[in-house]
Structure 1
């Protein structure tokens, strides 16, 4: 993936941070120090580090729902992973009023998804210089 083709996703449930794991959308990678390297196959959305940074294939139109589908986890208006209750979301610090699955993942976007008590919502994320480059398509 080219530098800059990443979005950042933060998840909170029941007042706690939920880690977005490395290895979503990655097949046949080797894990070294918590980071996936050398994948045989990847999808249009993938994670290689447990930081919430989601790598995006350039030109692909992907959503938060696509990431959750590849991850094999539940997301909807009333469910986040195994947690039930109203799900609220923010994009770039602004409240998202629609279905959280429909949130577009775009380069340099910051997405926060919450169920349960209110949490501080970050409007931006400090992406690493040069982007995430552990895997080659």
Structure 2
């Protein structure tokens, strides 16, 4: 059968199949998909950097709440001569931390107006005394198998450092004490380690009572 001719007498060109002129869906979407993936990666990197920056700022803010965390402060005394596992004041040293009675207190020490660092590792010598420290921010961990009120004197006995009205560790002079911002009269050894107690000892000169913010979870 003959093909139809147009008005000009020429044969009409056959129509192209839609399938032959339509672009492949994969080819059409590949570039946008790649750009979307790149945007997602960039967004994740920005969010990650923001989280790290926020954590760093939060750490600096928290560290600044306690003068005992100052990097320029001097160590009050090392843990070199502390108790080595023997029972001290009825307090044992055990292979794991006890949680029947679990609280925290804060200790700050100033000598002649300058802050002193309380070392980490007090009461940790291959075993855990019920009173010990993990960090240099002055936080005392009281983790005991019995419900008992311990004293600051117990902590210093484990540390094997002197504590009296005239001496704190190696520092000597008149000692003024504050507990939760209130002046404590009497022997600083008898200061009770109660939940979130903020204990400040001033040796030789007076320093106003400081505040302290315990980190979340303590």
Contact persistence 1:21–1:52 (CA under 8 A): yes
Whichever structure has more helix as a proportion of its residues is: 2
Which has the larger strand fraction? 1
Aligned pairs for 1:1-137 within 5 A: 5-28=103-126, 41-58=127-144, 59-122=147-210, 124-131=211-218
Measured in 2, the distance between the counterparts of 1:83 and 1:128 equals: 29
Distance 1:15 1:102 in 2: 23
Instruction: Spell out structure 1 runs of 4+ moving beyond 4 A.
Output: none
Q: Distance in 1 between matches of 2:137 and 2:120?
A: 8
The Cα offsets for residues 44-68 of structure 1, whole Å up to 9 and x where unpaired, read as 2100001000001252321111111
TM-score with structure 2 setting the length: 0.51
Q: Confirm or deny: 8 A CA contact 2:176 2:206 kept in the other structure.
A: no
Q: TM-score, normalised by structure 1?
A: 0.79
Contact 1:56–1:107 (Cα < 8 Å) also in 2? no
CA offsets, 1:17-42, max 9 Å, x none? 111100001122xxxxxxxxxxxx21
Secondary structure in 2 aligned to 1:9? strand
Matched with 1:135 is: none
Task: Give the count of matched residue pairs.
Answer: 118
**What stretches of structure 2 of length at least 5 have no aligned partner?**
1-97
Within 2, Cα distance between the matches of 1:12 and 1:52?
12
> Does the residue aligned with 1:68 lie in a helix, a strand or coil?
helix
